[in-house]
Amino acid sequence: MSLKNLVLLSGAGMSAESGISTFRDVNGLWENYTIEEVATPEAWHKNMDLVLRFYNQRRKQLFEAIPNKGHEALVEFEKHFNVHIVTQNVDDLHERAGSKNVLHLHGELRKARSTRNESLVYELKTWELNKGDLCELGSQLRPHIVWFGEAVPAIPQAVNILNKADILLVVGTSLMVYPAAGLVDYAPPGIPVYYIDPKAHEMAYQKRFKCISGKAGEVLPKLLPELLSEINHP
Ligand code: APR
């Protein structure tokens, strides 16, 4: 019997319990920095040092973080479902927990890429990326991050994954950033869609989704029986 497809769309809240700040909560990253200062191509040209420092801090924090119970639960789900994770997160906590299929929409913090040829992508061995770190063509390396105002090249692949979903879980995202937020509309009509977030019931989506207000690390480890009964008794 082939397994049903479970798709997870995750955002910053997925990693909050690993100690990584979200963007838009109180004390979120965008309370301390503006997007224009650190997360746009203009910022890179205007103040490369600040942008590098901002992502170095994020990377250092990531090297010290470990996957949480929510990440671990998703690995367990793979015994029962064909799991595909589409994440807005740039951390590698899904992979480090052991999830097999992870698509990063907004890039990967532990990678750098050439400013001359974007297909030249390198794994970083330390948390630091500095001015003067060059690609093999001799150009400055930049964080392998999709900044505001840049294209999101993984969207067509994500749409393909969403199209084939039998169950969709949306976890820890404010669904405020497009095109990522629009991906939920590519799930086949009528499939069960769960929205798991401490603020789930405050969201405009609550009529369309099965909302569970709670933390990813608390809700996901208990969710498997319900997901299995959805599939067996839709
Ligand atoms: N478990 C689940 N959800 C949580 C938890 C938790 N423990 N803690 C906080 N959250 C929820 C918040 O309630 C909020 O709805 O996570 C969500 C985080 O939302 P944002 O900070 O807006 O993060 P995200 O949706 O991932 O942002 C999207 O914006 O700036 C960018 O590129 C960045 O990928 C990011 C994109």
Q: Where residue 198 sits, what CATH number does that domain have?
A: 3.40.50.1220
Same domain flag for 46 and 75: no
Nearest CA to ligand 1 atom 9: 13
Nearest CA to ligand 1 atom 15: 174
pLDDT at 208: 78
Same domain flag for 123 and 201: no
Which residue range is the domain that position 59 belongs to? Answer: 21-64+110-145
Contact assessment for residue 126 and residue 162, using Cβ atoms and an 8 Å cutoff: no
88 touches ligand 1 (CB under 6 Å): yes
pLDDT at 230: 87
Distance 138 CA to ligand 1 centre (A): 36
Residues with a known catalytic role: 106
Residue partners of 51: CB distance under 8 A and separation at least 6: 38, 39, 43, 44, 143
CATH number for the domain including 119?
3.30.1600.10
23 touches ligand 1 (CB under 6 Å): yes
Same domain flag for 123 and 218: no
Same domain flag for 3 and 84: yes
Same domain flag for 100 and 121: no
Task: List the chain pLDDT tens, one digit each, 234 residues.
Answer: 689 999 999 999 999 999 999 999 888 988 889 999 999 999 999 999 999 999 999 999 999 999 999 999 999 999 999 999 999 999 999 999 999 999 999 999 999 999 999 999 999 999 999 999 999 999 999 999 999 999 999 999 999 999 999 999 999 999 999 999 999 999 999 999 999 999 998 876 667 799 999 999 999 999 999 999 988 876
Burial 77-92 (b: 16+ CB within 10 A, else e): beeebbbbbbbbbbbb
- Residues counted in the chain: 234
How many separate domains does the chain show? 2
Distance 171 CA to ligand 1 centre (A): 8
Distance 194 CA to ligand 1 centre (A): 16
22 touches ligand 1 (CB under 6 Å): yes
